[in-house]
Amino acid sequence: MEKFKTVLNVANKQGSFGFGVVALLTAGGEQIFSSVAFRCPCNQLNFLYGLVFLLVPALALLLLGIILSKRTWKLVTGLCRRRSKKTLVSACNALFYICATALVAPTSWIAVALLGGNYYECAMTGANVSAYSLHVCQGKMSREQCEQEMFRLPCERGAEQSGKEEVLRTIRAHSQILGWFLIAAIMLSNLLLICVARCASPISYQQLRFWRVYTEEENDLMDSYTSKHAKQLAERNLESFFKQTPPEDVVIPSSKDWEKISALYRFRTKDQYYSTLHQHVERDQEAGGGVPLNLVRSAGSTGSAEAPAVLNFVDGGLMSPQGQ
């Protein structure tokens, strides 16, 4: 799971190239999984068995992509306490982007599986759909033979009965056609989403690139600073406990400050803040006295009077900032 999370982080940072890497890794995993684990039962379980192998791993990859995304937990944490209509609309927009990003791996799995044809072939030879069975068997097998032996065809591949082999080739051709249609639909929809988002962008291409780089750097440094200060606080507490000495004052942000920089954010061309952290620092500096911080044992700070707006994520060309 940790390796999959690393791959997702690389994909988010590298944009379209990173998503291509995820798709290739998923395709390779599907090929290995198909050759090692998949064995069509060639009985009445064909349809369920093939459908499970085709769709359930894709669902698992989708859920895994959502769970391992930092954006998911940034969106969900505290959402129940923010019940305004504006917050709900913004949360839906953010959720759409999260799901769109997480769909790369599952759609790659389904597309590659359809191109291979094994899962679809197994499922459709067990489908209780007489019209489809008669269609693929027409001119190759008799109706009675088709209805009685259809589910055994995947296990008889390579047999001398040319009619059965032709039926399997027809089913596999249908699977590959669906696979190519799915790939074309994914690429076309992705291109349209990127074009619409870029056309609606109130900022230039170079500023968008700067914003993306800034966001990546801030996230990396946030992880580093969080680890460093958490370690400092833990060492202070342990030293005070074991040595039985008064604890030293450690300066950390208050809960209110943490809440502000954790909120979702919408870019505004008027202010040109590039994140909630950027906005919080600049506004508190303008209010006078710099960023209000607190000692560990002190009460909450005053903070900024205006709550941050909602973030439209800068990533993969799907950014749609709104100016004011």
Model confidence pLDDT, tens digit, residues 9-33: 545 554 555 566 777 888 888 888 8
Mean pLDDT within 95-124: 90
CA geometry: angle 173, 26, 53, nearest 5 deg: 55
The pLDDT of residue 179 is 94
Q: Where are the alpha helices (DSSP H) in 103-254?
A: 104-116, 118-125, 130-137, 143-149, 162-199, 205-243
Percent of the chain with pLDDT over 70: 77
Distances (CA, A) of 275 to 112, 296, 317: 38, 25, 17
Is pLDDT of 323 > 50? Answer: no
290-306: pLDDT as tens digits:
444 444 443 333 333 33
Query: Using CA atoms, how far apart are residues 150 and 141, in angstroms rounded to an integer?
Result: 10
Looking at per-residue pLDDT, the higher value among 321 and 276 belongs to: 276
Give which of 240, 22, 37 is closest to 111, Cα–Cα.
22
Write the single-letter amino acid at 106: P
**pTM value?**
0.73
State residue 194 phi and psi, 5-degree precision. Answer: -65, -45
The pLDDT of residue 19 is 66
26-70: pLDDT as tens digits:
888 888 888 888 999 988 899 999 999 999 999 999 999 999 888
Query: Using CA atoms, how far apart are residues 13 and 262, in angstroms rounded to an integer?
Result: 20
Write the single-letter amino acid at 75: L
Mean pLDDT of the chain: 78
215-273: pLDDT as tens digits:
889 989 999 999 999 999 999 999 999 999 998 888 888 888 888 888 777 777 777 88
Tell me, what DSSP letter sits at residue 302? -
Percent of the chain with pLDDT over 90: 27
Is pLDDT of 319 > 70? Answer: no
The pLDDT of residue 110 is 93
State the maximum Cα–Cα separation within the chain, in Å, rounded to a whole number: 91
Exposure string of 56-92, with b = 16+ CB inside 10 Å and e = fewer, is ebbeebbebbbebbebbebbeeeeeeeeeeebeebbe
Is pLDDT of 308 > 60? Answer: no
Give which of 100, 101, 99, 79 is closest to 91, Cα–Cα.
79
Looking at per-residue pLDDT, the higher value among 158 and 212 belongs to: 212
The pLDDT of residue 248 is 87
253: phi > 0 → left, psi -120 to 50 → alpha, else beta; which?
beta
Query: Using CA atoms, how far apart are residues 176 and 226, in angstroms rounded to an integer?
Result: 49
Token pair listed for 193:
């989403």
Token pair listed for 66:
């959502």
Give which of 197, 214, 215 is closest to 74, Cα–Cα.
215
Q: Where are the domains of the chain?
A: 2-199, 205-295
State residue 44 phi and psi, 5-degree precision. Answer: -65, -10
Query: Using CA atoms, how far apart are residues 224 and 228, in angstroms rounded to an integer?
Result: 6
Mean pLDDT within 176-182: 95
155 by DSSP, 3-state: which? helix
Give which of 100, 144, 278 is closest to 133, Cα–Cα.
144
